[in-house]
Structure 1
Amino acid sequence: MVAENNASSAVPSANRVTFLKRKVISIYDSLQTLQNALTNSTLSAINECGLSVRLKQIERLQTSFDINQTSLEELDLREDFDELAISMEISVRSEIAKRVSILPCSTFRDQSVLSAQTVRAKAPPAIPALKLPTFTSGYTEWADFYSMFTTVIENHPDLADIEKLQHLRSCLKDSALDANRSLEITNDNYAIALNLLEKRLNNRRLVFQAHILEMLGLKRVAGGSVVALRELSDQFNAHIRALKNMGNTEQIAGCIIVQIILQKLDPSSQAKWEERLEDSTFVNLTPSWEHMATFLEQRCRTMKTVNGKLCP
């Protein structure tokens, strides 16, 4: 009698078998659902804590599957389940390993991911996060802003284009923000937004002239103030360094002369000069005093002709 009881307890009842089948299939479906959610793009967007959670979720499903499948031999999904679980675990661990290789000081602490040969060096002190500068629309500020943004955001390996666009929008103000305010926050619009700013601000001639104008507009030092004198010196040297990165001493001197003369002209002549510079000939050129002399001569002849005076 005891033997019969033991035998009957060793074999699952019909209801028990049905329950186990449903349980195993449910666990298998859960694993497939998780696999569909963990695409390459999704994995790259998940932070380190999230990756750790996904690994533990896969491990829990494996444990639950093993327990239920062991009691059920009629429905054998073990081979398919194990193959799927191993494939998913490899994907998640590969993503983690890639980040560890890129960011050796990563805060990820799941020791199951780290190799036994990992060198456990003393962690360096934490470095404060870089704060992106705010950009309005100044030609003289574009190069520094673009360099910083490219280093911190554009070249970041783990940021999607939609995230880069959000960072870009958060840095812009005034007319720079107005230039791409109408663009929706999407992956495709990131390149468009950056290109709009590039076309408007990455103009060698306008950047060169902007530095000259700001340098000529520096405030006069009054009262023998050492602080004011130091500020003037720092600002002047900053503009000179920027100008030397774009042209030689002769070009800088020529542009200074042009701006001095330009400020002496009437508004109509100033407008004509700017129209002349918009010609494709001047796109990559720095206007020199020779260009200004030629313009003034032509302008005089034009005005004499318009006024009915043909004498030289």
Structure 2
Amino acid sequence: MIDVLIVGGGVAGCSAAITARMRNLSALVIYAGGGALEKAHRVDNYPGLPEISGPDLLEKLRSHARNMGAQLQHALVQKVMPMGDSFSVLAGNEVYEARTVLLCGGTARVNPLPGEEDLLGAGVSYCATCDGMFYKGKRIAVVAGGEEAVEEANFLADLGDVIYVEERKHATDGLSPAIQHLKDKPVAIKREEQGMVLVTDQQELAVDGIFVLRPAVALTQLLPEVATDKGHVVVDRDMMTNVPGVFAAGDMVGNPLQAAKAAGEGTTAAIAIAQYVRKHA
């Protein structure tokens, strides 16, 4: 069993992983994208690393965490399920068991489309590699929440006919020419007798399956038990949420949205997690 499973591979997540390893805890970091830091052209206020680019800082942090013995994995965490003294975490098509969970999802704020959560697993999927084969030779709609969706959409295009609709504007330079890229904006998802329907601001698209590909899932889907206030996760001084064993750090707990602050919170959370794990061993 993993001592701490960290959701998010940014500053807070990597800082926590480094400190967790210093405290002799096993740490698994699962991330689906680079977040805001990956898009930063230059960071001038991270102590000791002036004028560093966001991607370079991110790589240094992840390399440091790996060198300390933390495991890093690229996948979308879809669900965290409290199981008494531990947690089951669904990421991609794998299930992990952890003693504690640290949420470091950054600034991602996900508002599910109407009908999305109700139809999850019944025509709606969050993972192309997990569920793509179910739609081989069929008509597929992709609701893309960011450029991370491009690679998965290309994978789906090898299986069926793909329609690509951007939920948020992003770079699509690498999108396969076989994919039908619409300018429509997704509005809702529904099921009718003939199958799934993606409702846009321009039309209703009848398809066999809908893949919603974002760098994060809504907190109401991920772990609905966690308390929030004005969109931010509520934590105590040790960065623990109202759910025992679940901690949060970084931008998702509120302002200021600064890398240095996220690093400190990640460290604080990891120290508290070490104490929690030993107390409940």
TM bucket (normalised to shorter chain) is under 0.3
User: TM-score of the superposition, structure 2-length normalised?
Assistant: 0.26
Q: TM-score of the superposition, structure 1-length normalised?
A: 0.24
| Larger Rg over CA atoms | 1
Higher RCO (Cα < 8 Å, 6 or more apart): 2
Higher share of residues assigned helix: 1
